[in-house]
Amino acid sequence: MQITTSPAIRPQQLDPLALQRQARRLSQAEAAPWLHSEVAQRMAERLPVIKLQPRRLLQWSAFLGGSDAALKAIYPDAEQVRVEPTSELAERSLAAVKRGWLQTLLRRTPSQVLAPSALSDTAKVDLVWANMGLHADADIPRTLAQWHDALAVDGFLMFSCFGPDSFIELKKIYAAQGWGRPATEWWDMHDIGDLLIEAGFADPVMDQDRISLTWADAESLLKDLRALGGNVAPERLEGCRGKAWRASLLEALEGLRGNDGRLRLSLELVYGHAFKAAPKLQLNAETHVSLEQMRSMVRQAGKK
């Protein structure tokens, strides 16, 4: 008998086709996922430690990020650039911009909606804000490089995403039933911190928040999980899942009930922020320094 094993799935590996399908589905939602708006508020509470007041900010995956209210409350006069990974999500962002055109006109804070590929053709921003999007990104190193390139020198990045300990109870149920993975094996926050440094960011700070969500019944739990985004793990359960499988799932989820009688799932939220420092000059026998580079170095020296 010959036993074969599948190669280990590298953390954060996603099924690109499934990712596209889920993005199309989520673009039809009435609003951003409820959890994303809550996390956006928690991220905004961390902003007072940042002294820089951005004149121009970029929201990455703006529609699903659900951060408009939080950002407008803190930076009401900042010009906004909304970047969307798909055309369907771009349409939703355009609709949001059109609904708020009068407020935009009165405050003189125009908004743009761009695809990631168009970032190189627009002016630099002082803040890149990416709420609850990195865990649904198939190429994190490339995205971090885009964020770094979009930032002006001394600009800063703030982001949040799911950590690998999210839905651990659900993962145990699926493993016991042989149902594959219920979710992607997301990047650890320390790995993301290393990637930030590799992308050129300075002074990265990573943090995490562990929360519990509870539900009265399994149907409500599944409805909320679907609103957060579907399963895009490459090793998710394949094939058709009919009524019998769904009944088995609902029964298995009853094992999540705690002493209070409610179903409970754990979430790990990862937060990160970092700055874009002035590029370091390599000194040769003869080195030419532009006036702008000299001014940037003086600003950096003054901060230190």
Q: Where do the domains of the chain lie?
A: 16-166+184-213+268-303
Is the entire prediction scored with pTM above 0.95?
no
* pLDDT score of 8: 47
Quick one: pLDDT band at residue 235, thresholds 50, 70, 90? confident
* pLDDT score of 171: 95
Residue 275 has pLDDT above 70, yes or no: yes
Q: Tell me what the pLDDT averaged over the chain comes to.
A: 87
How far is the CA of 165 from the CAs of 16, 61, 186, 240, 255, in angstroms?
Answer: 22, 23, 8, 28, 19
Average pLDDT over residues 202-219: 96
Place of tokens 């771009």: 90
What is the DSSP secondary structure assignment for residue 239, as one 8-state letter?
Answer: S
- Tell me the per-residue pLDDT of 87-146, one tens digit each, with 9 for 90 and over: 999 999 988 887 765 455 445 455 789 999 999 888 999 999 999 999 999 899 999 999
Q: Is 16-166+184-213+268-303 in CATH node 3.30.300.30?
A: no
Average pLDDT over residues 70-99: 91
Q: What is the number of helices (H) and of strands (E) in the chain? A: 12, 7
Quick one: pLDDT band at residue 182, thresholds 50, 70, 90? very high
